[in-house]
């Protein structure tokens, strides 16, 4: 039995900084997206890549909860 569409929502995501490679585990808000993220390694301000709705979708090990709920690739399901 596989349930790829209705799996549990992962609220933890580890962000990898594209500038310095620093990794930091963060807890994602379930009702909002995080557009900016300050790297704790180098201080760079990360922003989502084009087509992504938040920094977790771009740099995290798990996409943000709204996107997880809508399915990966359905970026429109997040943040309007
Ligand atoms: Zn960094």
Ligand 1 mean position, distance from CA 6 (Å): 33
Q: What are phi and psi of 67, to 5 degrees?
A: -75, -35
- Tell me the longest C-alpha to C-alpha distance in the chain: 44
**Residues 6 or more apart in contact with residue 39 via CB below 8 angstroms:** 15, 17, 19, 20, 22, 24, 45, 46
Per-residue pLDDT, 56 = 94
Length of the chain: 80
Using DSSP, state whether 27 is helix, strand or coil.
strand
Ligand 1 mean position, distance from CA 31 (Å): 26
Ligand 1 mean position, distance from CA 48 (Å): 14
Residue with tokens 């922003």: 47
Encode the chain (80 residues) as per-residue pLDDT tens digits: 555 555 788 999 999 999 999 999 999 988 778 999 999 999 999 999 998 989 999 999 999 888 888 875 555 556 54
């Amino acid at each position: 039995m596989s349930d790829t569409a209705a799996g549990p929502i992962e609220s933890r995501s580890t962000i990898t900084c594209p500038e310095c490679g620093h990794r930091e585990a963060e807890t994602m808000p379930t009702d909002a997206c995080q557009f900016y993220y300050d790297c704790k390694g180098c201080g760079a301000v990360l922003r989502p890549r084009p087509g992504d709705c938040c920094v977790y979708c771009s740099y995290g090990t798990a996409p943000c909860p709204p996107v997880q709920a809508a399915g990966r690739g359905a970026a429109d399901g997040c943040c309007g």
